[in-house]
Chain A
Amino acid sequence: MTILVIAEHNNAVLAAATLNTVAAAKAIGGDIHVLVAGSGCGAIGEAAAKIEGVAKVLVADDAAYANQLPENVAPLIAGLASNYSHVLAAATTNGKNFRPRVAAQLDVDQISEIVSVESPDTFKRPIYAGNAIATVQSSAAIKVITVRATGFDPVSAEGGSAAVEQVSGTGDKGISSFVGEELAKSDRPELTAAKIVVSGGRGMGNGENFKHLYSLADKLGAAVGASRAAVDAGFVPNDMQVGQTGKIVAPQLYIAVGISGAIQHLAGMKDSKVIVAINKDEDAPIFQVADYGLVGDLFEIVPELEKLV
């Protein structure tokens, strides 16, 4: 059995989610190869070769793969897949984008967002916004899977010494092109990788008030998230959204401030180790999942909390 893991990167750094995906591959068992597809991505290939437990790194360096356009990347991966028993990618927006295209090209069903490996053909995955966990078995010759990063502890980024091999695909299909991108600038840790996350909801009142959460977060070394209500109200950009339709986080500590705790939000954070809820409504559903709840005015509590930690 040989497993192919698709590296997640932005042509400059290897994304941490790749290490969680390799961990899932390790749980399946077998040789692990990593594919780095990009443009000028040689350094990423070298970084991938150092990942613990990786036997071989394939590098596809082509301008066509620069922006991970699925029309170009999927045929590359599908072309390589016949040599593998499993093809894994992280369930990031990028992984979710190209992965089903690969599966359909191979004419196999895809298993999305696995959170555990029961055996090489059996996996667990959440459905219904995390309100049920399905155990699914695949009889496909090539198992095409995305991995929820928070379900697997990352392997070490150091210690490996895999051989690097160049591969090529079919290049640019010519049906899509990259126009541009706008990335939110942030000095805080990345939301999905942070050990502590402080999130605000509708109760924050406006975007200006999020400054209270930013300064608390900076004191804790935390990332700042938001509920969908806060995003829809325009308080913060939507890449801060935690939930079924946003990001899935599982930090050591999740502090929910002014968040009622709708099903769609809980789906994104209820696997956090410790959950703290700060809300003025003592009947808010968030208190049903919170380890520690504090009923009161967030505008008094948050500054006081910042002082005491």
Chain B
Amino acid sequence: MKILVAVKRVVDYNVKVRVKADNSGVDLANVKMSMNPFCEIAVEEAVRLKEKGVASEIVVVTIGPTAAQEQLRTALALGADRAVLIESGEELNSLAVAKLLKAVVDKEQPQLVILGKQAIDSDNNQTGQMLGALTGYAQGTFASKVEVEGDKVKVEREIDGGSQTVALNLPAIVTTDLRLNEPRYASLPNIMKAKKKPLETLTPDALGVTTTSTLKTLKVEAPAARSAGVKVKSVAELVEKLKNEAKVI
């Protein structure tokens, strides 16, 4: 089967972001960018399914600026076969992204689409589910285990009180949770090989998708800072402060 994996270029998860002085957004100039951690897990899962002989081809897709080619090359180095970049300079909302992915799904006809459960920049947790609605496919979100069995995929999902297993008809959509797997690192020879793998560039216009949004960000602020705390010397002092100063126990 063919697997489509969607990845996103985001600020590296170790970077402590700063809000711009004019409150228009966060400052991403000269900040390290990487593949969203949940997307790495999605790529890894697709590669493992290929190694097990379940998948025959892995197509990786991203939507973003020209520089997002770097993240596609990373995915190719990890084991994806070819890549699609939908070039767009603007910041798109999940619905627009889902519509663009739907156009790619129509074109590629994958049996399984794997996405991360959320991107660590917008923290939306929407795109996979929206793609499910647009394609009419079933969805297995927050996956911690994925097993393809015949014309179905069994997905173990992380839920609030524990875990749940669902069976979905293929084609289906899966979004990855952290526990699904531990992504591998790209080796140098594979990074070199990835440079020769095909990378197709498309635009939203070419796919016939309009990306207008009903959402507008008015401002972005830093969260309220916590006032500095104190270090106490002993457990007795801590308990005394919790009882009499903070009055929480």
Please determine whether B213 and A127 come into contact, CB atoms closer than 8 angstroms.
no
Given contacts A131-B17, A133-B220, contact A290 B123 (CB under 8 A): no
Q: Does A155 contact B (CB under 8 A)?
A: no
Contact of B124 among A110, A237, A253 (CB under 8 A): A110
Q: Does B52 contact A (CB under 8 A)?
A: no
Contact of A96 among B17, B125, B232, B235 (CB under 8 A): B125
Those of B44-94 within 8 Å (CB) of chain A: 93-94
Instruction: State the interface size on chain B (CB cutoff 8 A).
Output: 77
Please determine whether B238 and A276 come into contact, CB atoms closer than 8 angstroms.
yes
Q: Kindly list chain A residues whose C-beta atoms are within 8 Å of the C-beta of B249.
A: 196, 220, 253, 309
Q: Does A247 contact B (CB under 8 A)?
A: yes
Given contacts A178-B166, A180-B165, contact A132 B229 (CB under 8 A): no
Those of A131-186 within 8 Å (CB) of chain B: 131-140, 174-184
Q: Does A45 contact B (CB under 8 A)?
A: no
Please determine whether B133 and A100 come into contact, CB atoms closer than 8 angstroms.
yes
Please determine whether B214 and A274 come into contact, CB atoms closer than 8 angstroms.
no
Q: Does B158 contact A (CB under 8 A)?
A: yes
Q: Kindly list chain B residues whose C-beta atoms are within 8 Å of the C-beta of A71.
A: 132, 138-139
Given contacts A94-B159, A237-B162, contact A293 B230 (CB under 8 A): yes
For the complex of A and B, 10 pairs with smallest distance between CB atoms = A100-B129, A104-B133, A104-B130, A100-B126, A140-B214, A183-B162, A179-B165, A176-B138, A291-B229, A181-B164
Q: Kindly list chain A residues whose C-beta atoms are within 8 Å of the C-beta of B137.
A: 175
Given contacts A252-B248, A253-B249, contact A129 B159 (CB under 8 A): no
Q: In this complex, what residue of B is CB-closest to A122? A: B218
Those of B1-41 within 8 Å (CB) of chain A: 11, 13-14, 16-17, 19, 26
Q: What would 12 A/B residue contacts be, using CB atoms closer than 8 Å?
A: A101-B130, A101-B132, A107-B95, A127-B122, A138-B214, A140-B215, A182-B164, A220-B249, A238-B178, A238-B179, A287-B231, A291-B226
Those of B220-249 within 8 Å (CB) of chain A: 220-223, 226, 229-232, 234-236, 238-239, 241-242, 246, 248-249
Q: Does B112 contact A (CB under 8 A)?
A: no
Add 13 more A-B contacts to A111-B215, A239-B158, A294-B235 (CB < 8 A): A97-B142, A100-B125, A100-B129, A136-B215, A138-B216, A139-B215, A177-B166, A179-B167, A253-B246, A253-B248, A291-B246, A294-B234, A304-B235
A220 CA to B249 CA in the complex, in Å? Answer: 8
A174 CA to B134 CA in the complex, in Å? Answer: 17
A127 CA to B122 CA in the complex, in Å? Answer: 5
The listed residue with most A CB atoms (<10 A of its CB), out of B14, B93, B124, is B124
Please determine whether B231 and A293 come into contact, CB atoms closer than 8 angstroms.
yes
Please determine whether A135 and B229 come into contact, CB atoms closer than 8 angstroms.
no
Q: Kindly list chain A residues whose C-beta atoms are within 8 Å of the C-beta of B217.
A: 134-136
Contact of A308 among B178, B226, B235 (CB under 8 A): B235
Residues of A within 8 A of B (CB): 67, 69-71, 74, 92-94, 96-105, 107-113, 122, 126-140, 174-184, 192, 196, 220, 228, 231-232, 237-239, 244-245, 247, 252-253, 263-264, 270, 273-276, 282, 287, 289-295, 301, 304-305, 308-309
A178 CA to B168 CA in the complex, in Å? Answer: 9
Please determine whether B120 and A112 come into contact, CB atoms closer than 8 angstroms.
no
The listed residue with most A CB atoms (<10 A of its CB), out of B98, B128, B154, B216, is B216
Q: In this complex, what residue of B is CB-closest to A301? A: B235
B176, chain A: closest CB distance, angstroms: 11
Contact of A139 among B126, B163, B214 (CB under 8 A): B214
Given contacts A70-B129, A111-B215, contact A179 B166 (CB under 8 A): yes
Please determine whether B138 and A228 come into contact, CB atoms closer than 8 angstroms.
no
Contact of B13 among A264, A274, A308 (CB under 8 A): A264
Please determine whether B238 and A305 come into contact, CB atoms closer than 8 angstroms.
yes
Please determine whether B214 and A180 come into contact, CB atoms closer than 8 angstroms.
no
Given contacts A71-B138, A287-B229, A304-B235, contact A184 B130 (CB under 8 A): no
